[in-house]
């Protein structure tokens, strides 16, 4: 007698992925990349511990879709880092996974060919190759940890990790963060709720045990020791900004009540700029003035920036894509990025 399937009734197929260990063997961590990652993480920890008075700036494209343009951007950012090194640590934003409220392109790992073929195996390999190239230039990288399996493939090339507004409340992502080797910035909720991020910091600072994969690709019980470098990222919410001095003071009080260090990062994009990229320099300027006038809690900012400003839809003919222009959120262009960071550098030289 034929019986209906009990399991996987809505699964059409399974495709085998190479293990993290296999991908690492094909694209091994070089000495130059190792040094970049370790120096970047140490500098970030020193900033969070107040051993380094600089601020860190996570800056770069909303998402990576063209590695050639991405590496072009990285070279420009590295040159700028040398000019502002006394006041800022620049960390390139390298986002491969995009959370979606409903549907849309899910990022370079999930769909590297941008045609709904979802060659995740190719995307993961390409993503690792891109991170290697950036780190070998000497530029530390930052990313959003969305899929809990991805860090096993890419985590050795990341200096700073963000947990997004949609996932900060997720137990899975809090547990994962407790085992990450990088400092982790938890964004406030999409409604602006800071307590979600504070609870995430408290949770991720403790040991956890959960299901995951090993470097060999086997399903494993992952046991973590906790991450001491969680911090809040203010990104606004419900269409309202929260980077102003009053919002920052409220966040400081909430952190103090939770007995957590007063470490805040301001995301100049998203609700803080009303999703208008051209307003990001104004947000940055306001934050820099707060720091210049004595604020001690804002340790970093995030900026969505690309070679060309704005964004574009993904055309059916990919040859029509505009070079260096975002296919997700709108970004400021390179000239604006350079100008705002140089201006911030001059202001920060005068900080108390």
Burial group, residue 236, by CB count within 10 angstroms (0-12, 13-18, 19+): buried
* DSSP structure string for 169-222: T-HHHHHHHTT-SS-EEEEPPTT--SHHHHHHHHHHTS--EEEEE-TTS-EEEE
Given this model, what pLDDT does residue 100 score?
A: 62
Total residue count of the chain as it appears in this document: 352
The domain defined by 58-348 carries CATH number 3.20.20.70: yes
Given this model, what pLDDT does residue 4 score?
A: 63
Given this model, what pLDDT does residue 104 score?
A: 80
* DSSP structure string for 18-41: PPHHHHHHHSPPPHHHHHHHHHHH
Residue 164 structure tokens = 């997004």
pTM, full prediction: 0.96
Residue 257 structure tokens = 């009540």
d(CA 94, CA 234) in angstroms, rounded, equals 19
d(CA 313, CA 105) in angstroms, rounded, equals 10
Please say whether the beta carbons of 163 and 203 come within 8 A: no
Given this model, what pLDDT does residue 98 score?
A: 75
- Compute mean pLDDT per 10 residues along the chain, 352 residues long, and list them: 74 93 98 98 98 98 97 98 98 88 82 94 98 98 96 98 96 98 98 97 98 96 98 96 98 98 98 97 98 97 98 95 97 98 97 80
Q: Which residues contact 183 (CB under 8 A, 6 or more apart)?
A: 41, 44, 45, 48, 160, 161, 227, 229, 230, 231
Given this model, what pLDDT does residue 112 score?
A: 96
Where are the domains positioned within the chain? Answer: 58-348
């Amino acid at each position: 007698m034929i019986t209906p399937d009990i399991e996987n009734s809505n699964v059409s197929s399974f495709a085998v992925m190479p293990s993290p260990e296999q991908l690492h063997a094909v694209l091994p961590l070089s000495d130059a990349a190792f040094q970049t990652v370790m120096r970047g993480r140490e500098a970030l920890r020193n900033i969070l511990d107040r051993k380094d008075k600089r601020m860190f700036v996570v800056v770069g494209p909303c998402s990576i879709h063209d590695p050639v343009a991405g590496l072009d951007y990285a070279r420009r950012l590295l040159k700028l880092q040398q000019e502002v090194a006394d006041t800022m640590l620049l960390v390139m934003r390298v986002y491969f996974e995009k959370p979606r409220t409903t549907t849309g392109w899910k990022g370079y790992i999930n769909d590297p060919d941008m045609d709904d073929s979802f060659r995740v195996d190719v995307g993961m390999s390409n993503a690792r190759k891109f991170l290697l190239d950036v780190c070998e230039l000497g530029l530390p990288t930052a990313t959003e940890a969305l899929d809990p399996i991805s860090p096993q493939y890419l985590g050795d090339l990341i200096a700073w990790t963000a947990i997004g507004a949609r996932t900060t409340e997720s137990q899975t992502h809090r547990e994962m963060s407790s085992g990450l080797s990088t400092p982790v910035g938890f964004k406030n909720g999409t409604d602006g709720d800071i307590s979600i991020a504070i609870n995430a910091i408290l949770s991720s600072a403790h040991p956890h045990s959960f299901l995951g994969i090993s470097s060999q690709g086997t399903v494993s019980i992952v046991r973590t020791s906790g991450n001491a470098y969680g911090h809040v990222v203010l990104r606004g919410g419900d269409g309202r900004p929260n980077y102003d001095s009053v919002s920052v003071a409220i966040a400081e009080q909430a952190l103090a009540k939770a007995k957590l260090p007063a470490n805040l990062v301001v995301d100049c994009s998203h609700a803080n700029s009303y999703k208008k990229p051209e307003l990001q320099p104004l947000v940055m300027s306001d934050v820099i003035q707060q720091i210049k006038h004595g604020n001690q809690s804002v340790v970093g900012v995030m900026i969505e920036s690309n070679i060309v400003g704005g964004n574009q839809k993904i055309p059916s003919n990919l040859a029509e894509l505009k070079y260096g222009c975002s296919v997700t959120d709108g970004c400021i262009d390179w000239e604006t990025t350079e100008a705002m960071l140089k201006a911030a550098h001059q202001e920060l030289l005068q900080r108390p």
